[in-house]
Amino acid sequence: MKKFAKFLSVAALSMSLFAGQSVSAQETTDIIVYSPHGIELLTEIKNKFEAENEGINVIIQDIGGAEALQRIIAEAQNPQANILYGGPTSYFYNLKNQDLLVPYEVAWAENVDASYIGEDNAFAVPMVSPTTFGINTESGVEMPTSWLELADEKYNDSIITASAGSAATSTSLAVIASKFDAEGTLDTEGKAWFEAFNENVIERPAGDIQKDKIMNNTDGAAVSLFVIPTWENYIAEGGPLEYSLTPEEGIIEIQDAAAIIAGTEQDEAKLAASQAFMDFIGSYDTQLFLADTFNRVPTDPQARQDTSKEWMSQEYEVFPVDWIELTDNYDEYMDKIYNEWF
C-alpha cells in the first residue's frame, strides 16, 4: 500500500512538471506598437507577423504620428510601448536626442540605401511618403508649378489642408520653413510667404472632411497636399484629382521610419520580439506587400521595381532637406507657423 501511494505521488509530480512545461511553452510575449499607419494596414501587418512568429502578440495603438511622439516623451519614465512604427525621421531624431530609442541594426539594412538607416542604427526607414500638391481637375484652378506658388493670390480661398496634427502637412510646412531659414530669410520672406499662404487656406479640418471637400470642390476647395499614396487612393475612388510630380523645388519625400522604444531592452523577451518585428516590417516581402496593397513606397529598390503599381517607377526630383537640422529647429518652426503667422 505504501509503495502504491509512493507511485501515485511520483506520478502526480511528473504530471505537474509536464503541465508546467506545457503552460510555459504556450506563453506569449506581448509587444505594443504605436503607429499612424491606419488600422487596416496595421491589422494586416499584425496578422502576417504573428503567423510567422508564433508566441508573439502584437497590440496595436492606432494614433497620429504627432500624438505618438508626444506620448512616448510623456511616458519616458514609465514606457508603455515597444515600437514606434511610422512618422517622419524628424520625430525619430527628436527621440534619439532624448535617449528614448534602442539602437538595432535591422536584417534588411543592406537592402536599402544607407540614408534610410538612422545614425547609430537608432531607427530604420521601411517606406517613404512622397508628398506633393494637387488639384480638383473640375474646379477650373490651374496646377501650381511650385511649393512657393501656393502663396500666390490666385489661389485665394482655394486651398484646403489637414490640421496641425497631420505629420505630412506639418512636416511639409517645416521643410518649406527650413528652405527660408537656410537662406537667412525665415523672418522676412518666409514670414511673408506663410502669411500669404494662410490667406489662401479656407480650412484645416481633421479626418475625412479634407478628403470629401477636395473630392467635391466643396466651399471652393480646389488645391490640397497629400502623400502620393493618398492621392492615388482618392483617384482610384473616382475622385477628379490630379497631383504634381514636378514641383520646381521637388517632391517632399518624408522618410517613414520605425524604431524600438527605450525601456523595451529591460525585458529580454520583449526586446527579441521587437527586433523580430523591426526585421519583418522592412523585409522585401513586407515592403512589396505594402506597395501592392496599400500604395506604400518601398525603400528596398527591388521591391519598388517588382511592385504592380506602375506609378512607383516614376522618377521625381526630391526637395533637398537636412533632416537633422530640421529636427533641431522643428519646434521653433511650428511655433512661428501655427502661433504667429497663421
Which tens digits make up the pLDDT trace of 301-322? 999 999 999 889 888 999 999 9
Please give the pLDDT value at position 173.
97
> pTM here?
0.80
Q: Go through the domains of the chain in sequence order and give each one's CATH number.
A: 28-128+255-313 (3.40.190.10), 130-253+318-341 (3.40.190.10)
pLDDT in tens, 67-85: 999 999 999 999 999 999 9
Please give the pLDDT value at position 22.
40
Q: Are 152 and 248 in contact (CB under 8 A)?
A: no
Please give the pLDDT value at position 16.
44
Q: Are 167 and 254 in contact (CB under 8 A)?
A: yes
Please give the pLDDT value at position 3.
41
Q: How far apart are CA 51 and CA 64, in angstroms?
A: 26
CB atoms within 10 A of CB 292: 15
Please give the pLDDT value at position 26.
59
What is the phi-psi region of residue 133: left when phi exceeds 0, alpha when psi lies from -120 to 50, beta otherwise? beta
Q: Integer distance in angstroms from the first to the last C-alpha of the chain?
A: 91
Q: Which helix (H) or strand (E) holds 8?
A: helix 2-25
Please give the pLDDT value at position 315.
86
CB atoms within 10 A of CB 84: 27
pLDDT, averaged per 10 consecutive residues of the chain (342 residues), comes to: 40 42 64 95 98 97 91 97 95 96 98 96 97 97 98 98 87 96 98 98 90 97 95 94 97 96 98 98 98 95 94 90 92 96 96
In the block, residue with C-alpha cell 490651374:
142
Q: Are 215 and 94 in contact (CB under 8 A)?
A: no
**CB-facing half-sphere around the CA of 169: CA atoms within 13 A:** 20
The residues near 67 (Cβ < 8 Å, ≥ 6 apart) are 165
CA dihedral 312, 316, 319, 320 (to 10 degrees): 100
Q: Which helix (H) or strand (E) holds 62?
A: strand 56-62
What is the three-class DSSP state of 265? helix
Please give the pLDDT value at position 20.
45
Q: Are 214 and 221 in contact (CB under 8 A)?
A: yes
Please give the pLDDT value at position 183.
97
Q: Are 51 and 73 in contact (CB under 8 A)?
A: no
Q: How far apart are CA 283 and CA 206, in angstroms?
A: 32
Residue 282 is which amino acid?
Answer: G
Distances (CA, A) of 338 to 57, 106, 191, 342: 40, 37, 11, 5
Positive or negative torsion for Cα 105, 106, 107, 111: negative
Backbone angles phi, psi at 318, to 5 degrees: -105, 135
Nearest to 308 by CA among 295, 323, 321, 327: 295
Q: Are 66 and 165 in contact (CB under 8 A)?
A: yes
Radius of gyration of the chain from its Cα atoms, rounded to whole angstroms: 24
